[in-house]
């Protein structure tokens, strides 16, 4: 008999929602090119536009302001550019400012030269240092062009909710533009583009139970836009050429619709499960360190260090116990290394950390299985001072 598996890596990718899966299967029969003017093409176009409305509604935006991409990484590379247009007038972003805990899709800087990028520090608790942001923007050389600031709304490793709305006030006071990575936020907390003060918002389908291969750049309006990254046939109003991945986009739209439903109730239940998980971990190992536990976090994430247990050792050990978790961002082709988030927080990243992330279909049995594995693994750690 095959032992049951327990999935605790929702921040890496969420299992596809049944409604999204059904939509994808149905969309496979819509084979026509959505740019074709015949009836078959118009039917696919109508399905894409329905998805555009669903994604826009998820973040309080206008459908016309949603540009579909192949994922969040492409959306980041599209918007992180020195070259913008305000209507027909060229507009230059002279420098990119990004927090030290950003996902590599942001931290690599898109189309900015490395010399035109500035990292903004975070506090020891993993929250962006707003005073440092203020000082950096006050010293910005406006002769270079406008400052472009990129911040994540929810950190993918710690789950900490960042003070983006307050950061936006600082950015606007200095005449800058704000890009918000909302990939880990949508479906877990209410996200409204206007409330955040964001000029651009980055989204991903597979993080919310949609299929891989779809994402979006959502803009505050249609006047201020980045220079296209992919040019060609002029799809997506010329902002992202290439025949749309209609099947993935349709699934993305349904996932967006499903994530709007019963958001508060769903995450209250998830939060109770996460709290029970962390309480059990503390009972089993009173030296466990739960990063960000004193800050506002999304309900589904627990990022912890178990002294004496290296990340790679722990990840393998949990996997052998039937528990799938990660050592942080799933963005390095399976590599397990030091967490740049822990480094930014001033922690000893050599200790390592593991991330348990859950979702709507996580069960009480899953939590008990994870705790049983945790107790077993914690109990066979090497004594302090010895390598795990």
End-to-end CA distance of the chain: 31
Strand-pairing partners, residue 180, are 151, 201
Map tokens 């003060």 to a residue.
197
Rounded to the nearest 5°, which phi and psi values hold at 109?
Answer: 85, 5
Q: CA distances (Å), 332 to each of 105, 172, 181, 269, 329, in order?
A: 11, 34, 19, 31, 8
Nearest alpha carbon to residue 126 among 306, 336, 326, 305: 305
Q: 331 an active-site residue?
A: yes
Evaluated on CA atoms 245, 246, 247, 249, the torsion sign reads: positive
3-state secondary structure the chain: CCCCCEECECCCCCCCCHHHHHHHHHHCCCCCCCCCCCHHHHHHHHHHHHHHHHHHHHCCCCHHHEEEECCHHHHHHHHCCCEEEECCEEEEEEEEEEECCCCHHHHCCCCCCHHHEEEECECCCCCECHHHHHHHHHCCCHHHCEEEEEEECECCCCCEECCHHHHHHHHHHCCCEEEEECCCCCCCCCCCHHHHCCCEEEEECHHHCCCCCCEEEEECCCCEEECCCCCCCCCHHHCCCCCCCHHHHHHHHHHHHHHHCCHHHHHHHHHHHHHHHHHHHHHHCCCCEECCCCCCECCCEEEEECCCCCHHHHHHHHHHCCEECECCCCCCCCCCCCCHHHHHCCCCHHHCCEEEECCCCCCHHHHHHHHHHHHHHHHCCCCCCCCC
* Given the residues 35, 331, 332, 346, the one annotated as active site: 331
Enumerate the active-site residues: 331
């Amino acid at each position: 008999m095959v032992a049951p598996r327990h999935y605790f890596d929702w921040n890496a990718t969420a299992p596809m929602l049944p409604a999204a899966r059904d939509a994808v299967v149905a969309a496979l029969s819509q084979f026509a090119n959505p740019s074709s003017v015949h009836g078959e093409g118009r039917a696919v176009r109508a399905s894409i536009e329905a998805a555009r409305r669903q994604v826009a509604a998820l973040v309080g935006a206008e459908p016309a302001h949603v540009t579909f991409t192949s994922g969040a990484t492409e959306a980041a590379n599209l918007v992180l550019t020195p070259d913008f247009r305000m209507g027909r007038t060229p507009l230059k972003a002279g420098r990119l400012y990004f927090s030290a805990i950003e996902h590599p899709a942001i931290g690599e800087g898109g189309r900015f030269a490395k010399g035109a990028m500035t990292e903004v520090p975070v506090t020891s608790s993993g929250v962006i240092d707003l005073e440092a942001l203020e000082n950096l923007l006050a010293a910005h050389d406006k002769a270079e062009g406008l400052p472009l600031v990129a911040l994540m709304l929810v950190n993918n490793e710690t789950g900490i909710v960042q003070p983006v709305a307050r950061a936006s006030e600082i950015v606007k006071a200095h005449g800058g533009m704000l890009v918000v990575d909302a990939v880990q936020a949508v479906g877990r907390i209410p996200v409204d583009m206007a409330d955040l003060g964001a000029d651009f918002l980055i989204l991903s389908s597979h993080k919310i139970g949609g299929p891989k291969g779809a994402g979006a750049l959502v803009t505050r309006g249609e006047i201020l836009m980045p220079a296209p990254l992919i040019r060609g046939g002029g799809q997506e109003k010329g902002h992202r050429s290439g025949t749309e991945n209609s099947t993935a986009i349709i699934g993305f739209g349904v996932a967006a619709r499903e994530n709007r439903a019963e958001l508060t109730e769903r995450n209250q239940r998830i939060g109770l499960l996460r709290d029970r998980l962390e309480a059990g971990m503390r009972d089993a190992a009173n030296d466990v360190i739960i990063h960000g536990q004193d800050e506002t976090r999304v309900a589904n994430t627990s990022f912890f260090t178990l002294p004496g247990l290296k990340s790679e050792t722990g990840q393998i050990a949990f996997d052998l116990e039937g528990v799938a978790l990660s050592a942080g961002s799933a963005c390095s082709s399976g590599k397990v290394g030091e967490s740049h988030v822990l480094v930014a927080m001033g922690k000893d990243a050599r200790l390592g950390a593991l991330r348990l992330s859950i979702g709507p279909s996580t069960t009480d049995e899953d939590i008990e299985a994870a705790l049983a594995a945790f107790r077993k693994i914690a109990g066979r750690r090497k004594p302090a001072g010895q390598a795990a």
